[in-house]
Amino acid sequence: MLFMEADIVVKTVMVGLLLASVWTWTIIVSFGMKIRQIARKSDRFERAFSKAENIDRFFDEHGKSNLPSAKVMAAGVREWRRSTAKRPVDREGTRQRLASAMNSTIAEEVDGIADRLNFLATVGSVAPFVGLFGTVWGIMRSFSAIAAEQNSSLAVVAPGIAEALFATAIGLFAAIPAVIAYNRFSHRLNKLEARMGRFADSFHATLSRELEIGS
C-alpha cells in the first residue's frame, strides 16, 4: 500500500489533505442544506409579510426569528420606533437611519452565513501546493534512493514516484470540490444578499410612506 510505504513527511501531507477533504465535504453538505432551508423559510416569511395588515403585530409574532429577513425587519422596526418616539420627527434623518440599520444587519447576516466558506477558499488555494510539496519530497526520495543504490532501475525509483503522484492526486481531490463549492455557494450567497436587499428596500418604502402619512 502506497500510504504504508511512504516517507513520514509524505504520510503527514497525505493525512493532512485527507482531513481537509473530509472537512470540506462536511461543510459542503451542511452549508448546502442550510442555504436551501434559509431560502424556503424566506419564501414563507416574505409571503406572510406581504399579506400582513399590521406591521407591529407581525413584528411581535415574527420579530424574534433567526431568519435573516426577519432580523432585517427587526432592525428596521427597532430603529423606526426609536426615531419616531419623539416629536417632531426628523423624516429625512429617520429614512437614513432606517437604511443604515437594515443594511448593517444584511452585512452582518451575510458575514455570519459565509464564515465557514473561508475554509473552502483556503483548501482550494492551498491544497494543490501542499500536494506539490509531497510530490517534490517523493521525487527527492527517489533521487536519494538512486544515489544510495547506484541503480536507476524502476524498482528503485518507483516507490518514491508513486508516493509523489499519490500526494498530488490527494491534493487535487481536496482542492477541486472546494473550489467548485466555494464558487457555487458564493453565487448563492450573493443571491441571498440581493434578496435581503430587495426586502429591506420594500420595507424601507413602507415605513417611508408611514412617515408621509404621519407628517
For 38-66, write each residue's pLDDT tens digit.
999 999 998 888 888 788 888 888 878 88
Q: Choose from 9-18, 100-109, 115-124, 136-145 the range with maximum mean pLDDT.
A: 100-109
Alpha carbon dihedral 57, 61, 66, 72, in 10-degree steps, equals: -10
Instruction: Please tell me the pTM assigned to this model.
Output: 0.79
Distance between first and last Cα of the chain: 80
Helix (H) or strand (E) holding 4: helix 2-5
Residues 6+ apart with CB under 8 A from 166: 2, 3, 6, 14, 134
127 CA to centre of own chain? 18
For 147-201, write each residue's pLDDT tens digit.
666 655 655 566 667 777 787 888 888 899 999 999 999 999 999 999 999 999 9
Neighbours of 85 (CB within 10 A): 8
**Amino acid identity, position 133:** F
State the burial class of residue 54 (Cβ atoms within 10 Å of its Cβ: 0-12, 13-18, 19+).
exposed
CA nearest 98: which of 194, 211, 214, 192?
211
Instruction: With beta carbons less than 8 A apart as the criterion, state whether 135 and 165 touch.
Output: yes
The answer on pLDDT for 13 being more than 90 is no
